[in-house]
């Protein structure tokens, strides 16, 4: 969730380091995380790590101007870099208001292990898009390049109690010192499970079981399958076919990396087929929300259009209709994140796409713009497409309200010599009577003129300072 306050250079910040940061690995950051982020985001991560101190306190805060100066970034670029770190899980941000003002607490998070990173549906898909299939395979091999699978060996590892003997008291009561240490260092809370559209898992399991693939694989990769289905509009039969193609027929093991590649290939082939096929326009769908709402004709038609179309298909269709080119890898990434993490329904995501590309006239689905709108809607409790339209309608009404600001009147103060009623300007000499001025007189006149100009400028500056 984005911050509810407006970030300013004077806004304070404090750096906190998660207790699990001890497992942070710089090689993993460089090889797996860095391809997903901008140089500014990587620089911000190291800058925050440098700003961390032992025993941090809320009162010992620094202004964001410190980071801006160190990284040579403006506020918009700094905020974008921070959001990138938050998106990949390297930073958590907390906001607090006290007597000293607003302060942001930046909590640095450790990197995942390469195996955990590749197992994450969103991060692995994004990495594949950013580095390409060849480099992705190299990174996949690097994750276990020093590991030897002991397939024919028997484990003879000693257990803890085979080596250490603590006595019966250690098992009946907890030492107060140990108890105090556990209370001071609690285990991190588990993250809330992400909500995704459900599939007919029983049908999918039966389909892959016909090819000898265990139904346990479907359970293990349920989040990955749901994400791909929601974004790209894949049904259970298509998912099953792609899972079977991504399975080693000899070992009967499912390769999720190969599955992601096959999904991209399937989508590309589907796009080519859709361009050459002549299809009748699908009938518009209605929902109780559409029937009950007070919508204009355009709004009602839009709600009907987005009701059943998958976000990827809708994005591709809108870009084609507006001559905005193809769907880029960055737009795929943004779309997958919106579907999985925003809390919006699929139809509401389509409303967001329509607003950015059609109403605003943008050529691309900007990640920063889309995230800002999605987070704003999430704070307002928006989930359905109708609620999204209402939020946009209210926003546009606020934008069209007339401003109540009155123009500032600037009163200029005249210098003292200009207020003198007895002051008379010297008569300008006629060309026939104009005297000849020598060098010394000219210098004296210029000195007087500069003195009057300086006096006038001083009084004007003093008045401007008093007005401000």
pLDDT at 165: 67
Name all domains of the chain by residue range, CATH numbers in brackets: 12-111 (1.10.10), 201-276 (no CATH), 288-399 (no CATH)
Nearest residue to 14 (alpha-carbon basis) of 112, 77, 100:
100
Backbone phi and psi for residue 49, each to the nearest 5 degrees, phi listed first: -60, -40
* Bridge partners, residue 16, by sequence: 107
Question: How many beta carbons lie within 10 A of that of residue 244, not counting itself?
Answer: 18
pLDDT at 274: 57
With a CB cutoff of 8 Å and minimum separation 6, the contacts of 73 are 40, 44, 67, 81
Per-residue pLDDT of the chain (468 residues; tens, 9 = 90+): 444 567 899 999 999 999 889 889 999 999 999 999 999 999 999 999 999 999 999 999 999 999 999 999 999 999 999 999 998 999 999 999 888 889 999 999 999 999 889 888 778 888 888 888 889 999 988 888 777 777 778 877 777 667 766 655 555 556 677 677 767 766 554 443 444 556 788 888 888 887 777 778 888 888 888 878 877 778 888 888 888 888 876 777 888 888 887 887 777 666 645 554 444 444 556 677 776 667 777 777 788 888 878 888 888 888 887 777 778 878 888 888 888 777 788 888 888 898 888 777 788 888 878 888 888 888 788 888 888 888 887 877 666 555 555 555 555 566 665 556 565 655 555 544 444 545 566 666 666 666 666 665 555 555 545 454
pLDDT at 27: 93
- Only one residue has tokens 């993250």, namely 191
State the pTM of this model. Answer: 0.45
pLDDT at 432: 47
pLDDT at 3: 47
> For residue 223, how many C-alpha atoms fall within 13 Å in the half-sphere facing its CB?
15
pLDDT at 308: 77
């Amino acid at each position: 969730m984005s911050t509810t306050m407006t970030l300013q250079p004077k806004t304070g910040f404090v750096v906190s380091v998660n207790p699990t940061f001890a497992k942070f690995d710089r090689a993993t950051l460089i090889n797996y995380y860095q391809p997903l982020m901008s140089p500014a985001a990587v620089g911000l991560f190291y800058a925050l790590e440098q700003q961390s101190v032992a025993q941090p306190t809320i009162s010992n805060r620094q202004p964001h101007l410190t980071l801006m100066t160190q990284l040579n970034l403006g506020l918009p670029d700094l905020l974008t870099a921070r959001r990138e770190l938050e998106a990949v899980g390297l930073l958590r941000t907390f906001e607090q208001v006290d007597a000293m003002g607003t302060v942001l607490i930046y909590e640095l998070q450790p990197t995942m292990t390469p195996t955990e990173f590749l197992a994450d549906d969103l991060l692995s898909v994004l990495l594949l898009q950013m580095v390409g299939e060849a480099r992705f395979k190299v990174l996949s091999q690097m994750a276990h390049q020093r590991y030897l699978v002991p397939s024919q060996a028997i484990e003879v590892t000693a257990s803890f109690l085979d080596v250490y003997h603590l006595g019966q008291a250690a098992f009946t009561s907890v030492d107060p010192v140990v108890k105090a240490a556990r209370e001071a260092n609690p285990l991190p809370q588990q993250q809330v499970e992400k909500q995704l559209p459900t599939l007919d898992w029983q049908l999918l399991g039966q389909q892959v079981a016909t090819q000898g693939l265990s139904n346990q694989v479907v359970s293990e990769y349920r989040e990955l399958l749901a994400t791909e289905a929601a974004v790209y509009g894949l049904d259970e039969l298509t998912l099953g076919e792609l899972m079977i193609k991504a399975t080693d027929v000899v070992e009967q093991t499912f390769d999720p990396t190969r599955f992601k590649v096959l999904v991209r290939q399937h989508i590309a082939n589907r796009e080519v087929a859709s361009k050459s096929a002549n299809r009748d326009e699908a009938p518009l769908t209605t929902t109780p929300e559409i029937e009950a709402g007070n919508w204009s004709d355009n709004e009602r038609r839009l709600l009907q259009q987005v009701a059943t179309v998958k976000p990827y298909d809708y994005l591709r269709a809108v870009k084609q209709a507006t001559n905005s080119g193809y769907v880029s890898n960055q737009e795929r990434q943004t779309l997958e994140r919106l579907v999985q993490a925003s809390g919006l329904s699929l139809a509401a995501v389509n409303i967001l796409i329509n607003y950015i590309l059609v109403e605003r006239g943008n050529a691309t689905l900007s990640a920063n713009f889309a995230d800002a709108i999605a987070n704003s809607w999430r704070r307002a409790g928006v989930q359905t497409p109708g609620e999204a339209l209402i939020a946009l309608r209210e926003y546009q009404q606020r934008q069209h309200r007339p401003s109540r600001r009155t123009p500032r009147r600037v009163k200029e103060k005249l210098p003292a010599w200009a207020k003198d009623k007895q002051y008379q300007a010297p008569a300008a000499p006629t060309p026939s009577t104009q005297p000849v001025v020598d060098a010394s007189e000219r210098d004296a006149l210029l000195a007087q003129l500069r003195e009057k100009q300086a006096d006038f400028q001083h009084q004007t500056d003093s008045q401007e300072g008093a007005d401000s």
